[in-house]
Amino acid sequence: MDQITAKTLGTPAGGLFGNPWPPDFPAAGQRVAIFAYEVTGVDGTGHNIRTYHVGPAETAAQGPIGSSRDEPQGGTVAWRGCGTGTVTSVSAPPGRERTCEVAPDEASLL
C-alpha cells in the first residue's frame, strides 16, 4: 500500500498555516481530504516542490484549486486537490509539527 506523509496544518481554505482540526485530530483510521501545496517557480526559475496536507474529508477536491500566484518571497505557488485517503498513523513529537501517514484512495491523483 502506497502512503504519503502529510502535514496536518494548511488547507486551501485556511491557508498554509491554518489548522482545520480539533486537538488530537486527525486520528488513525480517519478519512481525510488530501491537498498538495506546489511551488512551481522561485524567482522566475521553474521548480517542482510539493508538500502534502490533510483536511476534513468533506473538503476534498480534485485538480487545481484556484490559480497559481506569486508570493512576495519570489515563489509561485498553487494548491491542488488530490482526493481522499485514510490516516494510517500519526506523529506528534513534542515541539514539532504534527504529521500523519495517509493511504490515498487514488495514488494517481498525487
Peptide bond into 26 cis (omega under 30): yes
Q: How far apart are CA 85 and CA 94, in angstroms?
A: 26
pTM to 2 decimals? 0.88
Q: How far is CA 18 from CA 7, 54, 55, 75, 103, in A?
A: 11, 11, 10, 19, 23
Per-residue pLDDT of the chain (110 residues; tens, 9 = 90+): 589 999 999 999 998 889 999 988 999 999 999 999 998 877 777 778 889 999 999 999 999 998 888 787 778 889 999 999 999 999 988 888 899 999 999 988 77
Q: How far apart are CA 71 and CA 102, in angstroms?
A: 29
Please, how many CA atoms are within 13 Å of residue 22, restricted to the half-sphere of its CB? Answer: 1
Is there a contact between 37 and 79 (Cβ–Cβ < 8 Å)? Answer: yes
Q: Which residue has the cell 522566475?
A: 44
Query: Domain segments of the chain: what residues?
Result: 4-109
Q: How far apart are CA 102 and CA 34, in angstroms?
A: 9
Per-residue pLDDT at 6: 96
